[in-house]
Structure 1
């Protein structure tokens, strides 16, 4: 029986093939659905989420396994088709409530907001996943554990539910008639990602849209109201760490500034955007503008090329990390994860034109050149690590002048734009 990890590793190449198909189809149709900086940010957040997931399995799987072993009401067999079908339906039902709570409870929105920050809607948006969802998300799936759904069944249906939702993140597939009335579809999910008043906080279903129809959260996409994507408090950053932390930080600041202890607590559990009256008066925020200009800092062509090439390298390193992580010791695993995360932060800062991003990228290139020679844990054997010294040093050496050229071009472009 295929494991959840195996299914995901097989699916990953398919994700990128379908993105290429979507990009090609959009060009044929004369539509612009991708921006390089936005796509790098979305896919990078997906990589970061998977990397973090290696370290949070204790919460996502460990607690579930403990409940199944000690609390389960039934001993359900893992080789029964009805167990699998029932588990998938129940998982999707629980997902609906987790997803809905992620829009109705401040601290849960702090995790889920990552998935909504993109102001574009394409298949790369589907990969834009949170790194902190494991903190509370596991609670919503405990009913499956209490019923006795085996761990291996739970893990696989969770991946199936997640993979299904990939294809519905596109603007290119129109309404699908009867399909839209039963299943989550591109049209239904475009509504979910929109910030228009008529669409806000609707269509939470993962596979089935029937849950929304049953519990009163369904809204139909209308031709006279094109969806506008993003969040009502725009991120305006390509930093993947800040993307994961921005709402937590905003909640923490409001909780610190609130005068009443009741408000300090309520801020975390009230609907997103709720603030006590004294905070609204003392620390007002800008109103929501649906006509706002998309976040797109000036970027030179050399910087676009540099960011794309190094992002592809980081993407390969991320996949390598997921492959070898089970065989690595704690320190080596942490070092590998930090290197991948640092690269994503560095590229994000370069895409924003941040000077500190240029400095961090220089240090990252130096470490890239030296890493195989300094550690015996690539990808678990010293001989393999040493074999990488020359190609990694060559990549770093060639990247240094390319980075300087790209940075100069972007700085000049931004200076002209500021005049």
Structure 2
């Protein structure tokens, strides 16, 4: 069900991004860059490939735990609209804590950081989704199982909360007055994505910022936002973006002395370091890269092919065996890697084209033979 909903939503997301892009151009406030946009959208495709391969982890483990944890296994409430609304509120509350821990604990931040790596803030940033959350996020929602939310309603609530957050990733909607006090709005979410000192680790709510007000993490927008991460990401490779913080954590753990410091590196704030550890020195990274015409053409073509092939995967995911699913995923990941590689000038356009052809051919063959 989730794959189908995402598949049908993709054209809508594309249309809304085109409208935002056109609106920005018309008003002289375009905040899209080719490399950044392709990197964000490639990250979104990668997250969908991973999601197609890990449905058991994301929803299946909740379904497995549900009969053992629920206190109201046969409650009719969840079949009515009141139950759907309550499930969304419960999901939003649990997501607040997952989101907060994902900023305040280095190991969880390593999974979530990809969503914040863009130095721009637009609707494409909303699609820059995490690929590793399937492994780390699901335990935070088990209180919903205790409350009796059935797996189907849990999945639906997750879709509602996820889709709500799409529209709040924009700079073209200003303050919404009283709504800013209660809801996660574009103004509130701009604060969340900013690296300004006063904005760091604020406004975690997905739909409601009531949770932030209750637990002391709310901050209104009061100065221009500077987006990205404190340590900027260099490059456009989606695989590098996903793995860079894990590699950094591994190195920090290796340098730490004693288990207390090692656990501190993993679970304390991402900015925490053991006594005597060298301080991180952020490098200056340009907001966007100048992309040559041949590189741009190759990257855009690769992205369009990867999008079509990912759509095919989502359409056929339930029909694929494990081997075919793994093969399609590997082929798609290779194509997405090539997008970043050509933008980073590590791969010439002709070689990226060959990777794209091989990726698409392997994907189509595996989907057809399944």
Report the TM-score, using the length of structure 1 for normalisation: 0.84
Name the structure 1 match of 2:280: 285
Cα deviation code 1:109-131 (max 9, x no counterpart): 00010100000000000000111
CA distance in 2, matches of 1:366, 1:127: 25
2:368 to 353, 361, 379: 379
1:41 aligns with 2:19: no
Q: Is structure 2 residue 365 aligned with structure 1 residue 367?
A: no
Contact kept in structure 1, 2:334 and 2:359, CA below 8 Å: no
Equivalent in 332, 350, 353 of residue 340 of structure 1: 332
Query: 1:134 aligned to 2:134?
Result: yes
- 1:307 aligns with 299
Alpha-carbon distance in 1 for matches of 2:14, 2:151? 29
CA distance 1:162–1:23, shift in 2 (3 Å): same
How many angstroms apart in 1 are the aligned matches of 2:361 and 2:189? 45
Per-residue deviation, 1:340: 1.0
Distance 1:314 1:365, change over 3 A: closer
1:362 Cα shift? Answer: 5.6
TM-score by length of 2: 0.95
Superposed CA offset, 1:88-145 (max 9, x none): 1111011111101111111010001010000000000000011101111001100001
Query: Which stretches in structure 1 are left out of the alignment for 5+ residues?
Result: 382-419
Helix, strand or coil at the partner of 1:59: helix
The DSSP-based 3-state class of the residue aligned with 1:204 is coil
Cα deviation for residue 365 of structure 1 reads 4.6
Tell me whether 1:272 sits opposite 2:267 in the alignment.
no
Of residues 232, 256, 259, the one that matches 2:257 is 259
Equivalent-residue separation in structure 2 for 1:68 and 1:349 (angstroms)? 43
Aligned-residue offset at 1:366? 5.6
CA contact (8 A) 1:96 1:206 kept: yes
Give yes or no for contact 1:84–1:153 (8 Å, CA) kept in 2: yes
* Equivalent residues in 2 for 1:7-406, closer than 5 Å: 7-75=5-73, 76-77=75-76, 78-222=78-222, 225-280=223-278, 284-286=279-281, 292=284, 294-355=286-347, 361=352, 363-365=354-356, 367=358, 371=362, 377-380=366-369
Give how far 1:339 is off. 1.1
- Please give the secondary structure, in 1, of the residue aligned with 2:303: helix
- C-alpha distance in structure 2 between counterparts of 1:370 and 1:189, whole Å: 40
What is the CA distance between 1:58 and its match in structure 2?
A: 1.9
What's the CA shift for 1:363?
Answer: 4.7
The 8 Å contact of residues 234 and 285 in structure 2, kept in 1 or not, is answered as no
Q: Deviations over 1:31-76 (max 9, x none)?
A: 1210011001101101100110122222211111112122210023
- Give 1:8 deviation, angstroms: 2.4
With over 3 angstroms needed to count, the CA separation of the structure-2 counterparts of 1:297 and 1:28, relative to structure 1, is closer
Point out where structure 2 has 5 or more consecutive residues left out of the alignment.
none
The separation in 1 between residues aligned to 2:357 and 2:84, in whole angstroms, is 49
CA contact (8 A) 1:346 1:358 kept: no
Aligned with 2:197: secondary structure? coil
